[in-house]
Amino acid sequence: MASAPETTDATPGNAAAEGMKTFHREERLRTAGGLSVTDITEQVQEAVRESGVRDGVCCVYSPHTTCSVRVNEYERGFLEDFSVLLRRLVPTEHYYAHDDWDRRTENVSDEDMEASNGHSHCMSMLMGPAGESIPVRDGVLCLGRWQRVLFLELDRERERRWLVHVVGV
């Protein structure tokens, strides 16, 4: 779902009065589950192009507690190393109170009871924020040579979404 660029009205002398634009897009994908990584760089760059923003910032965000958006290298060896590291830090076989249905009474759904995912929530907390903010210059994401925008699934296979918000002039 994309929305057309919007120009914000404001008083003279501030950036909004000089043509500040905002753009929103929501994308969906089916993840492979486990620790899967999807390169979404091209879709994010397309959103920036469609926004018409030449200079500003692009925020990419996952509204799921067991997913994350990160900027890093999309290289098989690194992704394997990172997966091994996360599984060592947060093993799936460990006891997680989040998965103990005799104790847990908050935020419970039938879907959650089908599969344990306490480890996924812990991994997510270690990953930090659920999104990234990337500068935009001359209508292009300011990424380094090997940097890519990555969507990380830390839980099971399912439908997911991610949001892009571009702001600038």
* CATH number, residue 66: 2.60.120.460
Other Cβ atoms less than 10 A from the Cβ of 6: the count is: 12
Residue 87 lies in a domain: yes
pTM: 0.87
Q: What is the CA radius of gyration of the chain?
A: 19
- Per DSSP, what are the bridge partners of residue 30? 159
The total of structural domains in the chain comes to: 1
User: Which residue is associated with the tokens 């404001």?
Assistant: 10
Residue 88 lies in a domain: yes
Which domain range does residue 149 map to?
6-92+116-168
Residue 106 lies in a domain: no
Dihedral sign of CA atoms 97, 103, 108, 110 in order: positive
Tokens of 152: 């990380």
Residue 160 lies in a domain: yes
* pLDDT of 20 above 90: yes
Please give the pLDDT value at position 111.
79
- Per DSSP, what are the bridge partners of residue 86? none
Residue 19 lies in a domain: yes
Residue 103 lies in a domain: no
Taking only the tens place, the pLDDT of each residue in 61-98 is: 999 999 999 999 999 999 999 999 999 999 999 999 99
Residue 108 lies in a domain: no
Residue 104 lies in a domain: no
